[in-house]
Amino acid sequence: MKPSELLGVVIRAAGFLVVLYSLYDFLSGFDNFLENLLAGGQDSSSGSVSTLSYFVFGIPEFIAGALCFFLADWIVKLAYRES
């Protein structure tokens, strides 16, 4: 396996792991949101900031992971230019 191929595999694996982590953030955000809805009688304003942070970080993580996964060939071509 050439180094350029190995770099492509590493970039795709990193992108896939970032996508999985962003999905974990989304699911945690939904879980926290539903938990705050069910505890409606209590003071839930402190939980809303935490819920929003899951989505604020999850969306860019998902975009970055998807770009790394699908554009790995382009990134490798940038790294290993033809002389």
Tens of pLDDT, residue by residue over 53-67, are 888 999 999 999 999
Q: Does position 73 have pLDDT exceeding 60, yes or no?
A: yes
28 CB neighbour count, 10 Å cutoff: 15
Helices (H), 1-83: 3-38, 45-70, 72-79
Domains of the chain by residue range:
8-38+45-79
d(CA 24, CA 76): 28
Q: What percent of the chain has pLDDT over 70?
A: 87
pLDDT in tens, 20-40: 999 999 999 898 888 888 876
CB 63 within 8 A of CB 25: no
The tens digit of pLDDT for each residue in 38-50 reads 876 566 555 566 7
